[in-house]
């Protein structure tokens, strides 16, 4: 069963590729509209021959020929849409063909008692399937109008009322069965379209969310997203009496790179450094651009990995980069300041202490890692003094 479904899907995809204009994204709204029109045409290709056979069986050659002509337009609707690049036109031609044949059938066999008159109610469903409420409303009005007109005409002209076919009961049953199948197929197609639209909406929302969280130049998380992660980590650490680390990383002499080689080179350096550092960061941590040439890392849990050794690994990673493809510096370095979150302080205070450590790393020669002391052991000037002592 699964194999048959897979084969059917491949066949449908191959047929859709022939119908959709070149360059149309199959997952776009236009691609979905073409897919729905193709599904409708396939449904017509399956149902119409059944009724043609019925009319031939009862020797109603006029109905068999007219339905074959109308069916040709209905089945060919996707190719009409391809040639005209107008799905709305193809949809309306499909419905006009169906309406015209059913109106003729109703005039010929039994007025509103004709088995075919019941198909008028399927036309608004097709309009809704394509998301066109205007089309659905028009065809609802035309279907109701046709039934009222048929009723009025044959009521006023009883002499001209056609006799029911000899096998009317069979024809009603036949028509009801296949109309039920068609409506079920319509509803199924609408549900599939709804689910596909929901998936596209979720994907679009995810893309928007991703864009809102990412820095456009480096592709790293932006400051707002890292801030949100820090808030969550602060709450978790407070509840579990645990800790985390904040790393601030700054590219050394970056202003000189921009002033000497231009901002394009500076951007290239930022992108290369961000990519290299991003490859070293664990999936459990949060790494982003803090601003300018500065990056921030939320190091959530050591798990046997020493924070300062990890920071040293990041420093060495940048120091080992070669920029031979950039008309600028051949080597760049970073300075790193580290601070551990202390229970009772805010994460912004932790960042402030990491920033003090970064300041000391810069002041004491750059291209080095400095860790700040806990907040309760020192304030601003004491942090700098302790860090200088550590650097020495």
Q: Could you list the active site residues?
A: 293
Does residue 46 share a domain with residue 167? yes
350-375, pLDDT tens digit by residue?
Answer: 999 999 999 999 999 999 999 997 65
235-273, pLDDT tens digit by residue?
Answer: 988 888 888 999 999 999 999 988 888 888 899 999 999
pLDDT at 304: 66
**Does any domain span residue 352?**
yes
* Domain edge (last residue) among 211, 232, 265: 211
The Cα 351–Cα 57 span in angstroms is 85
The Cα 336–Cα 248 span in angstroms is 6
Output the CA torsion 332→358→276→216 (10° steps): -100
- Can you give the CATH number for the domain in which 271 is found? 3.30.70.270
**Does any domain span residue 244?**
yes
Does residue 327 share a domain with residue 182? no
Does residue 248 share a domain with residue 284? yes
Distances (CA, A) of 68 to 100, 101, 180: 13, 10, 21
Does residue 235 share a domain with residue 201? no
Residue 247: its H or E element:
strand 245-251
Closest CA to 358 of 374, 337, 379, 383: 337
Does residue 192 share a domain with residue 47? yes
Does residue 369 share a domain with residue 256? yes
Question: For the chain, first and last CA: distance in Å?
Answer: 73
Total domain count, the chain? 2
pLDDT at 369: 96
CB atoms within 10 A of CB 317: 15
Does residue 316 share a domain with residue 188? no
**Does any domain span residue 117?**
yes
**Does any domain span residue 218?**
no
The Cα 286–Cα 223 span in angstroms is 11
Does residue 293 share a domain with residue 163? no
> Which domain, by its residues, includes 88?
2-211
**Does any domain span residue 216?**
no
* Domain edge (last residue) among 211, 235, 263: 211
Does residue 333 share a domain with residue 238? yes
**Does any domain span residue 238?**
yes
Does residue 43 share a domain with residue 185? yes
**Does any domain span residue 273?**
yes
* Predicted TM-score (pTM) of this structure: 0.55
Does residue 253 share a domain with residue 188? no
Q: Which mean pLDDT values do the consecutive 10-residue runs of the chain (392 residues) have?
A: 60 68 68 83 89 88 92 92 88 92 83 75 82 88 88 75 64 78 77 76 81 89 92 88 92 90 89 94 92 93 80 95 73 94 87 95 94 62 47 42
Tell me 111's DSSP state. G
* Domain edge (last residue) among 181, 211, 241: 211
Angle in degrees, CA 338, 316, 237, rounded to 5? 30
pLDDT at 230: 93
pLDDT at 353: 94
Does residue 206 share a domain with residue 227? no
Q: What is the Cα 293 distance to its own chain's centre?
A: 33
**Does any domain span residue 217?**
no
């Amino acid at each position: 069963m699964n194999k048959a479904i897979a084969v059917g899907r491949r066949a449908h995809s191959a047929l859709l590729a022939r119908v959709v204009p070149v360059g149309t994204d199959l997952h776009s709204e236009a691609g979905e509209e073409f897919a729905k029109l193709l599904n409708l045409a396939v449904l017509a290709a399956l149902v119409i021959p059944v009724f043609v056979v019925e009319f031939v069986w009862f020797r109603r050659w006029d109905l068999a020929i007219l339905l074959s002509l109308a069916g040709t337009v209905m089945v060919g609707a996707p190719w009409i849409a391809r040639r005209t690049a107008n799905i709305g036109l193809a949809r309306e031609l499909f419905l006009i063909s169906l309406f015209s044949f059913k109106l003729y059938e109703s005039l010929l066999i039994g007025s509103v008692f004709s088995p075919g008159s019941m198909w008028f109610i399927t036309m608004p469903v097709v309009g809704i399937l394509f998301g066109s409420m205007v089309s659905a409303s028009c065809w609802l009005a035309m279907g109701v109008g046709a039934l009222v007109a048929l009723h009025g005409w044959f009521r006023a002209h009883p002499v001209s009322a056609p006799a029911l076919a000899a096998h009317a009961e069979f024809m009603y049953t036949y028509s009801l069965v296949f109309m039920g199948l068609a409506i079920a197929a319509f509803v199924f197609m609408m549900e599939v379209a709804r689910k596909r639209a929901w998936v596209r909406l979720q994907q679009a929302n995810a893309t928007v969310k991703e864009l809102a969280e990412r820095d456009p130049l480096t592709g790293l998380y932006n400051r707002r997203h890292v801030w949100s992660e820090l808030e969550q980590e602060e709450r978790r650490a407070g509840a579990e009496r645990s800790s985390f680390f904040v790393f601030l990383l700054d590219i050394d002499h970056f202003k000189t790179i921009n002033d000497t080689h231009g901002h394009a080179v500076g951007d290239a350096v930022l992108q290369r450094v961000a990519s290299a550092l991003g490859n070293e960061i664990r999936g459990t941590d949060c790494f982003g651009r803090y601003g300018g040439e500065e990056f921030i890392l939320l190091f959530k849990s050591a798990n046997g990995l020493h924070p300062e050794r990890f920071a040293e690994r990041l420093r060495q990673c940048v120091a080992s980069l070669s920029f031979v493809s950039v008309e600028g510096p051949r080597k760049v370095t970073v300075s790193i300041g580290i601070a551990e979150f202390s229970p009772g302080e805010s994460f912004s205070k932790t960042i402030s202490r990491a920033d003090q450590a970064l300041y000391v790393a810069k002041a004491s020669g750059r291209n080095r890692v400095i860790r700040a002391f806990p907040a309760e052991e020192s304030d601003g000037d004491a942090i700098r003094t302790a860090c200088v002592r550590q650097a020495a």
